Amino acid sequence: MDEITGGEALIRSLELEGVEVIFGLPGGAILPVYDPLLDSPIRHILVRHEQGAGHMAEGYAHVTGRPGVAMVTSGPGATNIVTPLCDAFMDSIPMVVITGQVPTKAIGSDAFQECDTTGITLSVTKHNFLVTSAEEIPWTIRAAFHIARTGRPGPVLVDVPKDVVDPKNPNSRMRWYWPDEVDLPGYKPTVQGHPRKIQEAAELISRSVRPVIYAGGGILKARASEALLELAELTGIPVVTTLMARGAFPDDHELALGMPGMHGNYTAVTAMQKCDLLIALGSRFDDRVTGNPATFARDAKVIHVDIDPAELGKVRTPDVPIVGDCRVVIEQLVEAIRKMGGRDCQPDRSEWMATIRDWQRRYPLRYEPSLPGEDLKPQFVIEQIRDHTPDDTIVSVGVGQHQMWASQYWRFRHPHTFVCSGGLGTMGFAIPAAIGAKVGRPDRMVWAIDGDGCFQMTAQELVTATCERIPIKVAVLNNAYLGMVRQWQELFYEERYSEVYLSPDIPDYVKWAEAMGCEAMRVETPEEVGPAIEKANEIDDRPVVVEFRVDTREKVYPMVPAGASNDDIILGPAISKGSEDHD
């Protein structure tokens, strides 16, 4: 065993975990780890703000399934990455964050740039560690990655005091070792579903005449898309995919109903309300999906599959709870149903499917196209980006109206192509997450669809993208407002628009993007949209920003008002008009 420093041990441990890239920003407390990084094959991407590092690590994890890694210094460096930690925690994103800390003897003394990082992040991480000696580093890093990617994935933080990594401090000397495995008493995620519950679920499915599969983000985390497709086709049961599950089931499949929830389409929302069996797979009955839980899917029995037992019964008491990995449990279900006769044991559901087809025909997503001289419709812009890019393009979004339109009007045919902040709803997510996604999948085209409000929060990371030659494409839907807030004020606050106006011209998005080294364009007419997207697609040596001037007045429909029943879904004028046309 060779003697090395704690800083060297940390970098060597990351290499042995297969880390290929770190997103980070150095500072005093973490400098001793940045020095050995110079001799490592690990790529480091220098961000302009620590929040960007965290979201880049998330974007990387979204598309690769591997833990994203971020490294920042103590104090404000650590607090700046709390938002990405919370975001990853709520969306079950595997991530390992390394933070510098003041020397062990200075902890608790209010030293310069000291903060209680483990205390602050305790409630927004799956687990966190405060390293107290150099010898702990290899085991701690091994354990951090194991926890981040097993069971319900999530963020893990490792806080490293400066003295245990500083080559000038004797506390940093250690004899190198690498643990073959980590034993964490009390941490043994259940992967296999209980055979009795699997059989109960299979029998319930085979008795249901109005079932719906409620696929959540857990499908993607478990790499269970193929298993889900097999289950749906074997049983002929339609599938809704939540915001976090977009892409888990192909939108062009005959059993695909699309997204449910507050801004889901009418058919997906109503099918869940009217079903007699809800097969919840890796979904958590979020309030954005259920609306008022007391009125949600009143007549439905529930099969709920989740690897986190704490999710079962948290919102809706399941008739058949199953703890386990989604992919494994679905495969068990498929096997059980095949033994019972497969498709032949399923009841006649033709009346249910006919009802669903009628809803789809009468209430499709719809918007009024812009008239000559009017601003662009954001839905039209998204459709054009969709139609002018490969169908495996990765789409990253911020949070707000543009996020919902992207989920509604894109056609997802591949898993892990929609990168989104769901649970926390973090504005400013799109740009850094797109950068991380492009680093993780350099072979794919990556578009960030952002709002003007979101763009202003983290756009500086385009400097990172330019300097690192990460050629993402960015569509800024500029409606001069915090659009979703404006929509709520219009619908629920009698059009009293309080503090939501941003200005269409300040900043000048083209000049700003050019100042950050990007190619930039402004688009104002429908005729310019397609050519601008084609031009952006052809540029592959730097980031591209396209500002689309879109209609301020446009709103996201359908909509279920917060706290209301899904039965009270508001279709919006264009969809209502379309349904009348069909009648």
Residues labelled catalytic: 50, 112-113, 162, 484
In the 8-state DSSP scheme, what is residue 256? Answer: E
Hey, what are 255's tokens?
Answer: 């059993």
Contact call for residues 242 and 217 (beta carbons, < 8 A): yes
Q: Which phi-psi region, left, alpha or beta, contains residue 261 (left: φ > 0; alpha: ψ -120 to 50)?
A: left
Please, what sign has the CA dihedral across residues 390, 531, 398, 488? negative
Distances (CA, A) of 349 to 50, 181, 335, 395, 496: 52, 49, 21, 35, 48
Going by DSSP bridges, is the β-strand pair 3-5/173-175 parallel, antiparallel, or unpaired? antiparallel
Q: Which amino acid is at 521?
A: M
Cis peptide before 507 (omega within 30 of 0): yes
Place of tokens 């109960």: 200
219 membership: H or E segment, kind and range: helix 218-221
How far apart CA 463 and CA 481 sit, in angstroms, is: 25
Contact call for residues 431 and 458 (beta carbons, < 8 A): yes
Q: What share of the chain is helix, strand, coil (3-state, %, to 5)?
A: 45, 15, 40
Dmax (CA) of the chain: 81
SS3 state of residue 383: helix
Q: Which phi-psi region, left, alpha or beta, contains residue 108 (left: φ > 0; alpha: ψ -120 to 50)?
A: left
Supply angle C-alpha 54, 59, 63, rounded to 5: 150
529 membership: H or E segment, kind and range: helix 526-538
Q: Which phi-psi region, left, alpha or beta, contains residue 151 (left: φ > 0; alpha: ψ -120 to 50)?
A: left
- Dump the DSSP string for 305-358: EES-GGGTTSSS--SEEEES-HHHHHHHHHHHHHHTTGGGGSPP-HHHHHHHHH
Hey, what are 89's tokens?
Answer: 């925690």
Helical segments of 459-525, H only: 461-467, 483-492, 509-515
